[in-house]
């Protein structure tokens, strides 16, 4: 069977790679073509478009890069038609992928959407369109099933693929030595994978490091950048950057400063106390606050439906406030213990690994019926 996958950012690349692996195990004749990153490339060869050329965040940032986005959309549509897949698998990335879904549906291509668009956050009426253009929707967050049911849409809950990735992870016993780290306890810095968020968040994160000389701060580098890119944000204190080793970094971390996104959930699943940070273009933030209907920005708090981890957004995202929160995490034993106890509740809600295998099985089942 021929599978065409579209992922547009680092988390989608991770989940896409695991899904490709699961599909290959169940379909010996599987052929793949995809938009994705290095992890998907390791499973299925070179992507037709790399995620480094696709990920733009925020309303204003999208406007500034509209020409590139439109070119990518046009190319993707042409490539899908040319290749004629048996099934199109869209992975998150809704601003782009919902347009591709509509195009594919109009051209009688089976549309499977893996990792539901976060329509529960804003403009919920988009569900009505999703019902028309998506044949099968696979959700990874527990509360999404009830949300879609309220709109009269049946979806498949497959569990969360992060559990698959973490379950498959084998710690590198030489991580500290290979990355020339010291014996000090580690505070992990996870500034995201997009240029916009790294440029806004990393300077604040780095400024925190000077306030905790007894700790070693280490940056989790995104695979689409190199050390030179991160070095431009550093002052006289050079902070180590590790690439393709975020899980190893979290395994050794005592605390973490994390950009809002999938990484907040990964950090919690590794039982690392964290503070969540986010900064966007001021106009983008103003628009978001006007339309977004959720109480929290971090997946940890959204799933638990309460403030488990501190969120520092926009004007609150300063080195001083981040440092204050890191100090509480490291030195207030009761505060730290309460966060870790809530992580246990999160583990129970998340369930067991197997999302990639379950999704692959359902996709093959649905595609075989067409």
**Structure tokens that stand for 185 in this block:** 């306890």
Helix/strand/coil for 27: coil
Residue with tokens 């499977």: 112
**For the chain, how many residues are written?**
370
CB 23 within 8 A of CB 364: yes
In a domain, 168, yes or no: no
Domain match, 137 and 250 both: no
Beta bridge partners of 50: 36
**Can you give the CATH number for the domain in which 76 is found?**
3.40.50.2000
246 shares a domain with 146:
no
Distance from C-alpha of 156 to C-alpha of 339, rounded to nearest angstrom? 31
- On whether residue 222 sits in a domain, the answer given is yes
Question: Which domain does 222 fall in, by range?
Answer: 175-350
- Co-location of 239 and 180 in the same domain: yes
Helix axis angle, 262-269 to 161-168, nearest 10°: 50
Residue 58 CB partners (closer than 8 Å, separation 6+): 196, 280, 281, 284
| Same structural domain, 205 and 153 | no
Is there a single domain that holds both residue 183 and residue 326? yes
- Residues 37 and 55: their CA atoms lie apart, in Å, by 11
Helix ranges, the chain (H): 10-26, 38-44, 59-64, 66-83, 94-106, 126-133, 144-150, 161-168, 175-178, 195-209, 227-231, 246-252, 262-269, 282-291, 299-304, 319-331, 333-350, 355-368
- DSSP line for 100-130: HHHHHHHTT-EEEEES---TTTS-TTHHHHH
Residue 170 inside a domain? The answer is: no
Residue 127 in any domain: the answer is yes
Tell whether 134 and 48 lie within a shared domain.
yes
**Same domain membership, residue 241 and residue 312:** yes
Q: How far is CA 97 from CA 100, 103, 112, 202, in A?
A: 5, 10, 11, 29
My answer on whether 23 and 144 are in the same domain is yes
List the pLDDT tens digit at each of the 370 positions of the chain: 999 999 998 889 989 999 999 999 999 999 999 999 999 999 999 999 999 877 554 444 555 566 778 899 999 999 999 999 999 999 999 989 999 999 999 999 999 999 988 888 777 888 999 999 999 999 998 889 989 999 999 999 999 988 988 998 999 999 999 999 998 999 999 999 888 899 999 999 999 999 999 999 999 999 889 999 999 999 777 899 999 999 999 999 999 999 998 899 999 999 999 999 998 766 555 545 544 556 888 999 999 999 999 999 988 999 999 999 999 999 999 999 999 999 999 999 898 899 999 999 999 999 998 6
**Structural element, H or E, at residue 31:** strand 31-36
CB-based contacts of 286, cutoff 8 Å, min separation 6:
none
Q: How far apart are CA 84 and CA 77, in angstroms?
A: 11
Has residue 57 been placed in a domain? yes
Q: Are residues 19 and 139 in the same domain?
A: yes
In a domain, 166, yes or no: no
Query: Residue 358: what pLDDT?
Result: 96
309 contacts: CB under 8 Å, gap ≥ 6: 264, 268, 273, 274, 275, 276, 298, 300, 301, 339
Contact 137/113 with Cβ under 8 angstroms?
yes
Q: Tell the burial category of 163 from Cβ atoms under 10 Å away from its Cβ (0-12, 13-18, 19+).
A: buried
205 and 344 part of one domain: yes
Q: How far apart are CA 14 and CA 303, in angstroms?
A: 21
> How many domains in the chain?
2
Look at residue 165 and tell me if it is in a domain. no
Nearest Cα neighbor of 321 from 291, 276, 368 is 276
pLDDT of residue 291: 47
Q: Are residues 95 and 216 in the same domain?
A: no
pLDDT number for residue 194:
84
Residue 16 lies in a domain: yes
Q: Is the domain of 129 the same as that of 180?
A: no
């Amino acid at each position: 069977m021929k599978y065409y996958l579209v992922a547009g950012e680092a988390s989608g690349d991770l989940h896409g790679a695991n899904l490709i692996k699961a599909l290959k195990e169940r379909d010996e004749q599987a052929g793949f073509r995809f938009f994705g990153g290095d992890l998907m490339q390791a499973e299925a060869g070179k992507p037709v478009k790399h995620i480094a050329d696709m990920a733009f965040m925020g309303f204003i940032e999208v406007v500034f890069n509209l020409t590139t986005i439109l070119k990518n959309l046009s190319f993707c549509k042409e490539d899908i038609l040319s290749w004629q897949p048996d099934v199109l698998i869209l992975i998150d990335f809704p601003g782009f992928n919902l347009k591709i879904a509509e195009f594919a549906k109009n051209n009688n291509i089976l549309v499977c959407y893996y990792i539901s668009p976060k329509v529960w956050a804003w403009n919920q009426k988009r569900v009505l369109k999703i019902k028309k253009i998506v044949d099968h929707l696979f959700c990874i967050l527990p509360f999404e099933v009830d949300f879609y049911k309220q709109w009269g849409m049946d979806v498949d809950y497959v569990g969360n693929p992060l559990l698959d990735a973490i379950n498959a992870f084998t710690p590198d016993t030489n991580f500290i030595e290979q990355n020339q780290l010291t014996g000090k306890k580690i505070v992990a810095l996870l500034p995201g994978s997009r240029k916009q968020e790294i440029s806004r968040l990393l300077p604040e994160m780095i400024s925190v490091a000077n306030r905790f000389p007894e700790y070693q701060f280490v940056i989790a580098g995104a695979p689409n950048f190199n050390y030179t890119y991160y070095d431009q944000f550093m002052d006289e204190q050079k902070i180590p950057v590790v690439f393709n080793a975020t899980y190893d970094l979290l395994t050794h971390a005592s605390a973490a400063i994390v950009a809002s996104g999938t990484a907040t959930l990964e950090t919690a699943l590794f039982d690392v106390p964290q503070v969540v940070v986010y900064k966007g273009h001021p106009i983008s933030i103003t628009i978001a606050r006007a339309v977004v209907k959720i109480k929290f920005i971090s997946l940890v708090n959204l799933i638990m439906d309460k403030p488990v981890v501190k969120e520092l957004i926009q004007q609150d995202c300063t080195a001083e406030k981040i440092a204050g929160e890191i100090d509480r995490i490291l030195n207030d034993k009761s505060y730290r213990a309460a966060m870790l106890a809530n992580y246990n509740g999160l583990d129970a809600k998340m369930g067991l690994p197997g999302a990639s295998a379950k999704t692959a099985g359902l996709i093959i089942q649905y595609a075989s019926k067409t």
